[in-house]
Chains A and B, each alone.
Chain A
Amino acid sequence: MIRLKGGRILDPANGRDEIGDLFIEAGRIAAPPPDPEAAARSYDLAGKIVMAGGVAMHGGLAGPNANAARALMRDAAPGTVGGIGLAYAAIGMTTAIEPALIPEHAVETHLQLGDIPFIDKAALALLGNDDALLRLIGEQHGERAIDDFLGWTIGQTQALGIAAVNPGGAAAFKDNLRAFAFEDVVPGYGVSARQIVEALIGSVQRLGLPPALHLECNNPDRPGSFVTAIEAMEAAAGLPLHLAQIQRHGFGAEGAEGFSSASAFLAEALAYHKNVSVDAGPMLFGARVALSADPARQFERSAGAGKWVVWDGEGNGGGAVPDRASETDYRHAIQWAVGLELCLLIDDPWRLALTADPAALPQIIQWLMDADARAECIARLPKPAMAMCLLPKLDREFSLYEIAAVTRAAPARILGLADRGQLGIGAVADIAVYGEQADKAAMFAAPDYVFKDGELIVEAGKVKASRVGRTLRARPVAQGQIASWLAQHDEALYGRAAGSFAVPDAFAGAESCFGDVPCRT
């Protein structure tokens, strides 16, 4: 038994903010033993902040688009799976989600996830532009068929849930439609984005998948994109829905440049639609590679880029486009502000998951906790851009408790991962211990201790133990009646056996790395 003694425990899931002890046994948080002094190891955490290991909701960890980004970054510093795992672990994030597993590339995605060290992973299978789903909806095969198809997809791809990125839009892009709004119809199917979203939300709910539908809406980054996001919220009709990367939908068309912050509208709509959770990933300035499973958006972005990868898959596809976010650029300044505004305007931390590249997260936490740090950055940005934003007027500062919520408790709850993001008895002993510092960026960049499954993996910036985590998956009960339809469909259209991309329970020569997450009932 390990004892973490006398730290300030910040555990919003259990309503705790108090000085106290934590006990770890067999990789889990344990009840205090009769004799606390008998613990085999004890860490004196007086003056330290103790939180659950972080949960990164929207990682961009693995798969063909990560490969494309690596190729394009070859002359800089391409990321490796080892680097990804280390980067998360080093800042105390112990679970990360690949939010766009492309079913046809499920094997490679899981092979890569399996090679990411330290942390636990999970993937969300991407649907919504694939012929099978569009056909099932368009030809009105009914809810049962769609449920079956989703269940089958989860099983084949060993995913935790379902995601959709620009539903219908990537399919329409193959038909040369360069923009696709919520009510637009995919040529050839007669199905609108609304219908796809409604079908997926309903089916995910009926299957009881741990996370709600993880939706990246249509028309991101454009002026007026907030309307699309609000349309999606309304389409959910009270059922759980998660809107991913919501900062890309916080734009209006006001001002001389026709591009402005509309985060207030989004935040107001969110306050009303309590069934909707979001993740927001405020951006940093500097060089970056835009990764996405949305080929339409990636092609739009490629204009002016020196090099870029865009590909059409059977469903989504995607691409990677390197660029640079510049402090002198009007649009980039607005985009930066909107990401932070949304976090600051959303009152309910339980419906907000903070997401960012691990290298960026500590800086973003600082901006959220420290209005002066924001003001410093605002002062460097174009004044006309800041005039079209709310950020200069927002003085909210996140507390440590709220940070614990949006980086731990809320994402775990949104994902349906009951055993993490919290420090209650029986929870997975994923724990990050930070030394309190005035500079929050420094504080969150370098935890004193990180425990994964009760094992000390990072101490004062040094790796103490290498380990490979689990990949979390759901196992919904599906009727399986779709199999024969799919077999016929894939053979006729694609000339392949349905499920040729299936991921086995264990890869060759290895033990199964999967951990099952119970479905909601």
Chain B
Amino acid sequence: MAVRLGKAQATAESALAEAARILAGSRLALLTGTGSDVAGARAALRLAERIGGAVDFRRDPALLALDALMAERGLIFTTPAEARARADSLLLIGPGVARSAMLAQVLKGTPLLAAPDGAERTTLWLCPGSAADTLPGFGIQDYGGDLSAIHGILALLNAAMRGHPAPGQGFGGLAPGIFEDIAGRLITARYGVVAFSPADLDALAMEALLSFVQALNQTTRAALLPVSSDAGTQTFAHVSGWLTGFPPRTGFMAGAPDYDPWRFDATRLIECGECDALLWLSSFEASAPPWRTKLPLIVICPPGAQFVRPPEVLIETAIPGNEADAEFWSEASQSLVAVKAAGPTGGLTAAAALTGILDRLETSSR
């Protein structure tokens, strides 16, 4: 695992000192990337607070929209394990669910808790797109439908479930009567689960799904199952939640965290030139910042990232759960888990690197 200053190999000590120097001299430093494990996130937040920086580890607008929905309207959801064991009716929305290993785990199970007599689960798929054939063997009923018309489709589904007047013709590539059919199946289900990938939907579509499930619960039981796999950003959101009260995008200029997803959007900050230093933290994957920028750049990630321009400081770190023990978000359980390293290397962890920078800042400020 290498440590570099520009193109030159360097010692960890000199890299940490240089990173600290860059951050200490910045007016508004941005900490962003694809996230980290719990210890890394905790250290990154401490560092951001110390340097009065901005934090955006919620670069995915879909996850941001799901956070906002939770805050503005709440949520009604279940866990993958419970969905697997109990959902006698499963409605999949959009192609993104097919990418989820967690969803395959759910589909593999038998809903023993809903139908002790061994009855089968009904699985419906709306707007699978080109992913229609990717979950074979689960007897999924594919309704088709055009994902670009998802708002109208969900609106008609909601109207059908509530018995509201709506045009009777087909919509979004779906035949007439399909909306009543799907709504009817969920109303008569013992426990319906609606699984979706936030990446397929925008904020309003997710809110429409939430409305659908909330209304279903007036008479029967149903829950949402958001499918997202991004360990680094999900972990960051959790840690940020309990340490600052907010998920990222937050700023620490005034000391107390300021939650503002618009202002602390990393892309906006960089494009408008509002920040003057960039720390890229990506603990699970060797990735480089997607922007072409002349800003002084500090990168903390596993070996293998390709850069257009060598970062001012590059500190390569051990992959959490693989090369080092770590706690992070598990897609399978949709909760934080503690994972023993499969092949511990004793390499530097992201947390150690970030804490190292913080220590240098403390030393130099004295």
Q: Do A and B have CB atoms closer than 8 angstroms in the complex?
A: yes
Are the C-beta atoms of B336 and A107 separated by less than 8 Å? yes
Instruction: Assess whether B62 is interfacial by the CB under 8 Å rule.
Output: no
Contact with B along A474-515 (1 / 0, CB 8 A): 000000000000000000111110001111100111100000
CB distance from B248 to the nearest CB of A (A): 13
Closest to A509 in B: B39
Are the C-beta atoms of B333 and A501 separated by less than 8 Å? yes
CB distance from B192 to the nearest CB of A (A): 11
Closest to B78 in A: A312
Report B320-366 residues with CB < 8 Å from chain A CB: 320, 324-327, 330, 332-333, 335-338, 340, 349, 351-352
Report A173-201 residues with CB < 8 Å from chain B CB: 173-176, 188
Residues of A within 8 A of B56 (CB): none
The answer to whether residues A108 and B79 also contact, given A188-B116, A495-B105, A508-B327 and a CB cut-off of 8 A, is no
Residues of B within 8 A of A111 (CB): 38, 239, 242, 327, 336
Report A53-107 residues with CB < 8 Å from chain B CB: 62, 64, 66-68, 70-75, 77-83, 104-105, 107
Closest to A295 in B: B76
CB distance from A16 to the nearest CB of B (A): 39
Residues of A within 8 A of B220 (CB): 176
Query: Which 3 interchain pairs have the tightest Cβ spacing?
Result: A78-B245, A494-B81, A108-B336
Closest to B105 in A: A495
Choose among A66, A72, A75, A104 the residue that contacts B333 (Cβ–Cβ < 8 A): A104
Residues of B within 8 A of A307 (CB): 71-74
Residues of B within 8 A of A (CB): 37-39, 42, 67, 70-79, 81-82, 84-86, 105-106, 108-109, 112-113, 116, 190-191, 217, 220-221, 223, 238-239, 241-246, 259, 320, 324-327, 330, 332-333, 335-338, 340, 349, 351-352
Are the C-beta atoms of A309 and B75 separated by less than 8 Å? yes
Residues of B within 8 A of A75 (CB): 71
Are the C-beta atoms of B221 and A314 separated by less than 8 Å? no
Are the C-beta atoms of B81 and A496 separated by less than 8 Å? yes
Q: How far is B7's CA from A490's CA once the two chains are assembled, in angstroms?
A: 51
Q: How far is B39's CA from A79's CA once the two chains are assembled, in angstroms?
A: 20
Instruction: Assess whether A311 is interfacial by the CB under 8 Å rule.
Output: yes
Instruction: Assess whether A115 is interfacial by the CB under 8 Å rule.
Output: yes
Instruction: Assess whether A350 is interfacial by the CB under 8 Å rule.
Output: no
Residues of A within 8 A of B241 (CB): 67, 70-71
Q: How far is B69's CA from A307's CA once the two chains are assembled, in angstroms?
A: 10
How many chain A residues touch B (Cβ–Cβ < 8 Å)?
57
Residues of B within 8 A of A176 (CB): 190, 220-221
Are the C-beta atoms of B105 and A78 separated by less than 8 Å? no
Residues of B within 8 A of A308 (CB): 74
CB distance from A267 to the nearest CB of B (A): 37
Residues of B within 8 A of A81 (CB): 242-243
Closest to A74 in B: B71
Q: DSSP majority for the A interface? A: mixed
- The residue among B67, B221, B330, B338 with the most chain A CB atoms within 10 A of its own CB is B338
Residues of A within 8 A of B326 (CB): 508
Q: How far is B113's CA from A131's CA once the two chains are assembled, in angstroms?
A: 9
Q: How far is B247's CA from A78's CA once the two chains are assembled, in angstroms?
A: 11
Choose among A70, A73, A313, A496 the residue that contacts B242 (Cβ–Cβ < 8 A): A70
Residues of A within 8 A of B349 (CB): 508-509
Instruction: Assess whether A112 is interfacial by the CB under 8 Å rule.
Output: yes
CB distance from A401 to the nearest CB of B (A): 37
- The residue among B42, B105, B116, B327 with the most chain A CB atoms within 10 A of its own CB is B327
Are the C-beta atoms of A508 and B39 separated by less than 8 Å? yes
- The residue among B42, B82, B239, B325 with the most chain A CB atoms within 10 A of its own CB is B82
Could you list some 15 contacts between A and B, CB below 8 A? Answer: A67-B241, A67-B242, A68-B74, A70-B245, A131-B113, A309-B76, A311-B77, A312-B78, A313-B82, A314-B79, A494-B109, A500-B332, A503-B338, A504-B338, A504-B340
CB distance from A18 to the nearest CB of B (A): 43
Report A96-144 residues with CB < 8 Å from chain B CB: 104-105, 107-108, 111-112, 115, 131
- The residue among A78, A173, A299 with the most chain B CB atoms within 10 A of its own CB is A78
Are the C-beta atoms of B221 and A174 separated by less than 8 Å? yes
The answer to whether residues A510 and B39 also contact, given A112-B242, A131-B113 and a CB cut-off of 8 A, is yes
Q: How far is B67's CA from A70's CA once the two chains are assembled, in angstroms?
A: 11
Residues of B within 8 A of A310 (CB): 74-76
Residues of B within 8 A of A112 (CB): 242
Are the C-beta atoms of B82 and A108 separated by less than 8 Å? no
The answer to whether residues A74 and B259 also contact, given A173-B221, A174-B191, A493-B109 and a CB cut-off of 8 A, is yes
Choose among B109, B113, B242, B325 the residue that contacts A115 (Cβ–Cβ < 8 A): B242
Are the C-beta atoms of A501 and B335 separated by less than 8 Å? yes
Residues of B within 8 A of A317 (CB): 78
Are the C-beta atoms of B109 and A502 separated by less than 8 Å? no
Known: A307-B74, A492-B112. 15 other contacts (CB 8 A): A71-B67, A72-B71, A74-B246, A78-B245, A80-B242, A105-B336, A115-B42, A175-B191, A176-B221, A308-B74, A311-B78, A312-B82, A314-B81, A493-B81, A510-B39
Residues of A within 8 A of B333 (CB): 104, 496, 500-501
Closest to B257 in A: A80
- The residue among A73, A74, A496, A509 with the most chain B CB atoms within 10 A of its own CB is A509
Residues of B within 8 A of A503 (CB): 338
Are the C-beta atoms of B38 and A71 separated by less than 8 Å? no
Residues of A within 8 A of B78 (CB): 311-313, 317
Q: How far is B349's CA from A170's CA once the two chains are assembled, in angstroms?
A: 41
Residues of A within 8 A of B85 (CB): 131, 314, 493-494
Closest to B109 in A: A495
Q: How far is B72's CA from A309's CA once the two chains are assembled, in angstroms?
A: 10
Closest to A310 in B: B76
CB distance from B44 to the nearest CB of A (A): 14
CB distance from B200 to the nearest CB of A (A): 22
Residues of B within 8 A of A82 (CB): 243
Residues of B within 8 A of A299 (CB): 217
Are the C-beta atoms of B335 and A507 separated by less than 8 Å? no
Residues of B within 8 A of A314 (CB): 79, 81-82, 85
Q: How far is B146's CA from A413's CA once the two chains are assembled, in angstroms?
A: 63
The answer to whether residues A495 and B71 also contact, given A104-B335, A174-B221 and a CB cut-off of 8 A, is no
Choose among B37, B74, B324, B335 the residue that contacts A108 (Cβ–Cβ < 8 A): B335
CB distance from A488 to the nearest CB of B (A): 13
Closest to A502 in B: B338
Q: How far is B326's CA from A508's CA once the two chains are assembled, in angstroms?
A: 5
- The residue among B38, B84, B243, B326 with the most chain A CB atoms within 10 A of its own CB is B38
CB distance from A367 to the nearest CB of B (A): 30
CB distance from B164 to the nearest CB of A (A): 21
CB distance from A201 to the nearest CB of B (A): 25
CB distance from B223 to the nearest CB of A (A): 6
Q: How far is B159's CA from A283's CA once the two chains are assembled, in angstroms?
A: 41
Q: How far is B77's CA from A68's CA once the two chains are assembled, in angstroms?
A: 12
CB distance from A217 to the nearest CB of B (A): 23
Residues of A within 8 A of B243 (CB): 80-82, 115
CB distance from A137 to the nearest CB of B (A): 16
Q: How far is B320's CA from A495's CA once the two chains are assembled, in angstroms?
A: 24
Q: How far is B45's CA from A82's CA once the two chains are assembled, in angstroms?
A: 13
Q: How far is B242's CA from A504's CA once the two chains are assembled, in angstroms?
A: 20
Q: How far is B220's CA from A176's CA once the two chains are assembled, in angstroms?
A: 6
Q: How far is B58's CA from A434's CA once the two chains are assembled, in angstroms?
A: 45
Residues of A within 8 A of B336 (CB): 105, 107-108, 111
Residues of A within 8 A of B223 (CB): 311-312
Are the C-beta atoms of B116 and A495 separated by less than 8 Å? no
Q: How far is B314's CA from A143's CA once the two chains are assembled, in angstroms?
A: 58
Residues of A within 8 A of B75 (CB): 68, 309-311
Residues of A within 8 A of B330 (CB): 500
